[in-house]
Structure 1
């Protein structure tokens, strides 16, 4: 597996391992098996009620065809970037900044999946040729849908953890920042704040947290009665919000 380093707005590279091509292929086969099983079960159930395909086309479309057609976006959105096959093989889809892809990103991947693997390819059972070629030719092991959507497929057993940086995903929680002055600090400053806060929390050292909070307030000329650790957590969240809101 190739190592992927994604530069962030914090001047820190997030390190991932790209999902192995064979693992991705096996995951695709598992998902194909899941869809085939669903089709057979749905067909058997409907025919047991004497619903012939030609006479009940709309029912077959809604109960069988559409769920299979939208299998990938539905599964990946519901399972946080994974499908049953991806979960079994320990791979997942993430955005290029390491967080959970948006719904639009999942839909773009799905649309280009159909472009890469048209019905004719399924007839000859070679729907993975174009994606494999793209994966092998791109620096981040991306297929066409990933390139357009701004996503990558990684191994869930990552070498570097996003929790080890000051990065926090503030994109999906409607966060409201409190201290716009925080942008006067640098990435290096914020990493130091994060490191000291982690130490204070781990050692339950209120005095250390108080010293760090006092220094940040002094530099930024902030007046607040928030508890020291809560203030520092808010500072980190605000920095993430302002730094990533336009990404």
Structure 2
């Protein structure tokens, strides 16, 4: 297990704890159990109808094979980088920039999963060795699919900036933003701002709040007389306003 630091545009690093091989394997076992239960239940249902051999083969492909094959691709995209197994093990797939992976990155991971999948354990030994060796040898515990896609699997159990969203619903109010420059920052930048603001508020640390506020003002060339915590709250609200107003 190791940590990866990703610099933001205003020189504050986001730090992620990479997932170790054992937690990833346990997450895979949970997902395997879900897929196995689905397969057994659907197979018994299909057999009970006594379809012809041709019809059975078609239904097995459509109802069994495709959902099992697309399991990781569909769920990781729809669940924001997680599957039920990863969610239970507090793991998440993110890009090397700290943002949510793109669809193409998920697709690359899925394609390489077919090469690496432990489902082929009883047929070939290499598909089991490839991810284990890759995770053990790469700096950030990446399997081959992660390396090619530019993603990592992180432990989110102790990472507040990942688990806590920066989203604030501004659509229900007649909110008037003050700092349009805030759109120059990214989601990961704002996640860090929120993390540090929450820390400053919890510890009543005015020095930390002042440092973060000063850095944001410096990077974005903002002049404001608002108190530091109020300023940071305002930029978070402004960011949500500008990034969601067209959605």
TM-score normalised by the chain length of structure 1: 0.66
Cross-structure match for 2:173: none
**5 Å matches for 1:116-195?**
116-117=116-117, 121=121, 123-124=123-124, 127-158=127-158, 160-162=159-161
- On the 8 A contact 1:17/1:154 being kept in 2, the answer is yes
Deviates more, 1:87-96 or 1:117-126: 117-126
Give the root-mean-square deviation of aligned CA atoms.
Answer: 4.5
Cross-structure match for 2:22: 22
Deviation at 1:69, TM superposition (A): 0.4
- On the 8 A contact 2:197/2:232 being kept in 1, the answer is no
Could you tell me how far apart the structure 1 residues matched to 2:35 and 2:193 are?
A: 49
SS in structure 1 opposite 2:101? coil
Gaps of 5+ in 2: 168-176, 186-191, 205-212, 241-247
Gaps of 5+ in 1: 170-176, 186-190, 204-211, 223-227, 241-247
Could you tell me how far apart the structure 2 residues matched to 1:237 and 1:180 are?
A: 11
- On the 8 A contact 2:160/2:195 being kept in 1, the answer is no
- On the 8 A contact 1:194/1:236 being kept in 2, the answer is no
Could you tell me how far apart the structure 2 residues matched to 1:53 and 1:75 are?
A: 31
Quick one: structure 1 residues 71 and 125, their matched pair in 2 at CA, closer, same or farther if it must change by over 3 Å? Answer: farther
Deviation at 1:52, TM superposition (A): 4.7
Greater C-alpha Rg = 1
Quick one: structure 1 residues 157 and 134, their matched pair in 2 at CA, closer, same or farther if it must change by over 3 Å? Answer: same
- On the 8 A contact 2:3/2:18 being kept in 1, the answer is yes
Deviation at 1:220, TM superposition (A): 4.7
- On the 8 A contact 2:94/2:151 being kept in 1, the answer is yes
What are the superposed Cα offsets for residues 219-242 of structure 1, whole Å, 9 maximum, x if unpaired? 6579xxxxx9998656457789xx
Q: In the alignment, does 2:79 pair up with 1:82?
A: no
> How many positions carry a matched residue from both structures?
216
SS in structure 2 opposite 1:14? strand
Could you tell me how far apart the structure 2 residues matched to 1:199 and 1:121 are?
A: 50
Could you tell me how far apart the structure 2 residues matched to 1:192 and 1:54 are?
A: 59
Cross-structure match for 1:56: 56
Deviation at 1:88, TM superposition (A): 2.2
Could you tell me how far apart the structure 1 residues matched to 2:89 and 2:198 are?
A: 36
